[in-house]
Structure 1
Amino acid sequence: MFRALHYWLYRYRRTWRGTIVISVANPLLFLLAIGAGLGALVRGSVDGVSYLEFFAPGLLAAAAFQNAFVDGGFAVTSASRRERIYPTAAATPLEPGEIFGGHLLFITLRLALSAAAFVLVMALFGLVSGPGVAVAVVGAATLTGLALAAPLAAWAVTVRDIPQLNTVFRFGMMPLYLFSGTFFSVAQLPGPIRAVVQVMPLWHGVDLCRTLALGTAALGPSLLHLGYLAGLVVAGVLAGRVTFRRCLHT
């Protein structure tokens, strides 16, 4: 598994510059434009805090989710089909589970680094109260992304062309991005719609990151969020071990 991780780290040394825009610069510019720009026009408070304080941790979770889709979806399908990295690795002594595990470890590292960069900018805006909070929020954002990346990678290795992923992104990711409490409080939604939103994994990540950043996290809800997201990671890992073995042994 660590040999597979070493490959992705070696590759990343040559390609990291191309990932900066989508994984770091995009959400940070979004934070500046909407949080500090449009947010300044929002009168009053949202859930008792300024719009920027409300928006930033939600965008952090949403950005982690988006990065997870790129790394756990498009990159996995490309490695399986277009670039044929996985089939080449499978011809070596590496087992499919090791190939999957190594790539997932790399995705976890990428998510953590992107989240750390985002939290650093939040700290510059005075939106993080201390190092302990910063570490907790980075961890929550990383788990949020991994809750999508693991099950998505398990499916993406079976996908034969990129347009399938584009369809899922358009009709799956975008509604999640817009209606998981990132931009507005879900408390204002009608009861039935709010219940649907609160089943979505991104809502759990948004709420966890936001309450940790604001210092309002309670033990019960936080454990619920952590358990939900961790359960998706475990399910994705178990499914991935099966799908990678089937796809790379055929």
Structure 2
Amino acid sequence: MTPSAYVLEYHLVNYRRTWRASALSTLVLPLLTMLGFGLGVGGYVQADVDGAAYLDWIVPGLIASTAAQTALGEASWPVLSGFEWLKVYFAQATAPLRPGDILGGHLAFMMFRVLISVAAFLLVASTFGALHSFWALAVLPLSVLIGLAVAAPMVAYTASISSDSYLPIMFRFAVLPMSLFSGVFFPIESLPGPLRWLAYALPLWHGVDLTRAATLGRALGPAGLWHVLYLLLWCAAGWFLARRRFQRRLVF
């Protein structure tokens, strides 16, 4: 096993003791989301959206948003806890583990949590008949890409603060707007020009477009490659910044 794998094992062992606390919400939240947004709001949307029924159109956006929200949740308070409260990172750093090993193992666990959440959402969505292609299975690796693209920069931010009072600021002024203006609930073409370009710059819109193409069985062509490369850029930049912050805080 690699050093990062041992860190991942540590988080998995902890999760084995606490998974019951999140198991119900992992299944119930997708169901409530499908009922509330897909059927509730969708019941008032009579026309198709981009050639698809509103339920079928919104489900991939909700899946991508779930991947991002799960990753951001795991990359915020748990990471701050590792530095400030439980100080698990410092304990791991006293073992023969480098900051990159600690970061890599924890990010791997975050992607594990993303996979579980998205798999549950896919299961619920399939019961509503909202998946129209075998390419929907590609949503699982895509969710990891989406999750890492937002989790790595978030870890870098969390590793730069010393109080959790800064986390609500990030969620209120960055995460919430990203969730609202990334094509999850309505096409970004309806946004004014400046907001539309902001959506293009955010990683979630690229994930939403990829996920929507997969669940609806649509080909994106060169645009799909652009989406993937842009998300990989966010992953690489986030990893670089997060590793620098871990190095500064854990190496004396």
* TM-score by shorter chain over 0.5: yes
Q: Deviations over 1:134-190 (max 9, x none)?
A: 321122122111100012112212220111011100111111111111111111222
For 1:162, what is the secondary structure of its paired residue? coil
Compute the displacement of 1:15 (Å): 1.3
- Correspondence list, 1:141-152, <5 A: 141-152=143-154
In the alignment, what sits opposite 1:63?
A: 66
Compute the displacement of 1:38 (Å): 2.1
Confirm whether residue 14 of structure 1 aligns to residue 21 of structure 2: no
CA RMSD for the aligned pairs?
A: 1.5
Confirm whether residue 213 of structure 1 aligns to residue 215 of structure 2: yes
- Correspondence list, 1:22-33, <5 A: 23-33=26-36
In the alignment, what sits opposite 2:57?
A: 54
More moved, 31-40 vs 222-231: 31-40
- Correspondence list, 1:1-250, <5 A: 1-20=4-23, 23-130=26-133, 132-250=134-252
Cα distance change of structure 1 residues 186 and 38 upon mapping to structure 2, 3 Å threshold = same
Compute the displacement of 1:124 (Å): 1.4
Q: Distance in 2 between matches of 1:205 and 1:36?
A: 23
Cα distance change of structure 1 residues 237 and 15 upon mapping to structure 2, 3 Å threshold = same
Q: Distance in 2 between matches of 1:222 and 1:228?
A: 10
Q: Distance in 2 between matches of 1:21 and 1:167?
A: 28
More moved, 27-36 vs 51-60: 27-36
Corresponding pairs, count:
249
For 1:15, what is the secondary structure of its paired residue? helix
More moved, 220-229 vs 90-99: 90-99
Aligned partners of 2:75 and 2:110 also within 8 Å: yes
Compute the displacement of 1:20 (Å): 3.5
Q: Distance in 2 between matches of 1:221 and 1:36?
A: 30
Q: Distance in 2 between matches of 1:22 and 1:153?
A: 24
Q: Distance in 2 between matches of 1:135 and 1:248?
A: 39
Q: Deviations over 1:20-61 (max 9, x none)?
A: 466553243112211022212211111111110111100111
For 1:90, what is the secondary structure of its paired residue? helix
TM-score, normalised to structure 2's length? Answer: 0.93
Q: Distance in 2 between matches of 1:159 and 1:231?
A: 24
Q: Distance in 2 between matches of 1:85 and 1:186?
A: 41
Q: Distance in 1 between matches of 2:221 and 2:182?
A: 21
Q: Deviations over 1:84-138 (max 9, x none)?
A: 11111111121111111110111111111211111111111122235x4232112
Overall identity of the aligned pairs, in %: 41
TM-score, normalised to structure 1's length? Answer: 0.94
